[in-house]
Amino acid sequence: MSAFLFAVTTVVATTLARTSGADNKSNDSDRSVEGTIRYDDSDRSVEGSIRYDLSVAHKACNYFGMDELVWNHISARHGSGWLITPGRRMWDAIEPSDIVSASDNCTADIIHSAVYKVRPDVKAIIHLHTKYAAAVCCIEGGFIPLTQDGSFFFNKVATHEWEGVSDDPGEGERIGKAVLSIPDCNILLMPNHGFCTFATSVKEAFIQAFYFEKACETQQNSTGKKLLVPPAEIMKKSERQNYSDVFRPGECEWDAVCDLIERKYGVGR
Ligand SMILES: *[C@@H]1O[C@H](CO)[C@@H](O)[C@H](O)[C@H]1NC(C)=O
Ligand SMILES: *[C@@H]1O[C@H](CO)[C@@H](O)[C@H](O)[C@H]1NC(C)=O
Ligand SMILES: *[C@@H]1O[C@H](CO)[C@@H](O)[C@H](O)[C@H]1NC(C)=O
Ligand SMILES: *[C@@H]1O[C@H](CO)[C@@H](O)[C@H](O)[C@H]1NC(C)=O
Ligand SMILES: CC(=O)N[C@H]1CO[C@H](CO)[C@@H](O)[C@@H]1O
């Protein structure tokens, strides 16, 4: 009986997540400023689908080795604020109900609120310290897109120099300036620290982070060799193709990632 109930709950949660999706374009005009969370829980079904996607994204980071113990954050706008990683919990154990509407971590508030403030189009942010991206963060010149996977980020990388652990609210303004300096950027590279990807949905932000880490791995493994850097016009063409409706990050991958995570970890227990 309880197994039956669990199965029903899982199916309902999964269907909800996949039909209503987290790409919901909520009204941004009253979005929170400077980390002030005014949580709008008026739409339960939208909230449920965002929580589901956030839980899957945390568990998928754990599955693919992209997490770092209890640190780092994934967030998604909801209502006039955003939902975010609870902290103090391993990412394979983050369930939809564990996601919080305000972080107890000031670092996350500064970085995430800075990006949401200057980019109304951004609905989800992932901040990670994955190993290959962290290595690329420590190389002069930073990220070099070399492959088809890397073309997602061609001319889309903003940079914000490390200021130590982010606890100075003034840093938010500097992060905002960095993000605005590269039109349509989808990566904030944080030298000697890590990176953020930002996107129109949780699934898109996760898939971007996956490909960014992979592109950094390719770059790192090519270090010290003579690089074949593709012509800019080919990268530009590939970038546009990658962002067409069919290949938009997450479009083809996300349901399969959800299936994988349901099989390996389960969601919603
Ligand atoms: C999107 O979210 C807003 C606010 O949460 C809600 O009013 C609206 O109905 C949602 N739209 C869809 C298509 O789910
Ligand atoms: C968003 O809300 C503001 C004020 O609440 C309203 O003026 C505006 O038309 C709304 N925009 C959309 C796209 O719903
Ligand atoms: C917040 O999280 C970051 C990692 O994302 C960590 O470096 C920092 O120490 C945390 N700060 C607090 C106050 O918990
Ligand atoms: C990069 O190098 C590591 C260590 O040699 C290897 O395990 C990994 O498969 C390589 N990755 C790529 C994308 O070449
Ligand atoms: C996010 C992004 O870069 N989107 C681009 C993808 O390609 C389309 C079509 O060429 C562009 O209009 C978008 O700006």
Q: What is the pLDDT of residues 158-217, one digit of tens each?
A: 999 888 877 777 888 999 999 999 999 999 999 999 999 999 999 999 999 999 999 999
More confident site: 142 or 36: 142
For position 39, what pLDDT does the model report?
Answer: 36
CA of 168 to the centre of ligand 1 (A): 34
Q: Which residue's CA is the nearest one to ligand 4's atom 12? A: 218
Instruction: Tell me the per-residue pLDDT of 212-236, one tens digit each, with 9 for 90 and over.
Output: 999 999 999 998 889 889 888 988 8
Give 133 Cα–ligand 4 centroid separation in angstroms.
13
Closest ligand to the CA of 194? 3
What pLDDT is recorded for position 114? 92
Write down the H helix ranges in 30-138: 44-63, 106-118, 131-136
CB atoms within 10 A of CB 89: 14
Q: What pLDDT sits at residue 242?
A: 63
pLDDT of residue 14: 37
How far apart CA 187 and CA 166 sit, in angstroms, is 18
Give yes or no for a contact between 197 and 118, defined as CB atoms under 8 angstroms apart. Answer: no
Ligand 1 probe mutation, 25, 43, 123, most atoms within 8 A of CB: 43
State in Å: Cα 220 to ligand 4 middle.
9
Task: Report how far residue 73's alpha carbon sits from residue 108's, in angstroms, rounded to the nearest whole number.
Answer: 7
Q: Which atom of ligand 1 is nearest to the CA of 45?
A: 14
Lowest pLDDT segment from 79-88, 99-108, 144-153, 258-267 = 99-108
**Side-chain half-sphere exposure of 134, counting CA atoms within 13 A:** 9
* Residue-level pLDDT at 106: 55
12 — pLDDT class (breaks 50, 70, 90): very low
Domain 3-264 maps to which CATH number in 3.20.190.10, 3.40.640.10, 3.40.225.10, 2.40.50.140? 3.40.225.10
pLDDT, tens digit, 9 for 90 and up, residues 80-108: 889 999 989 999 999 999 999 865 555 66
Output the pLDDT for position 69. Answer: 97
**What pLDDT is recorded for position 165?**
77
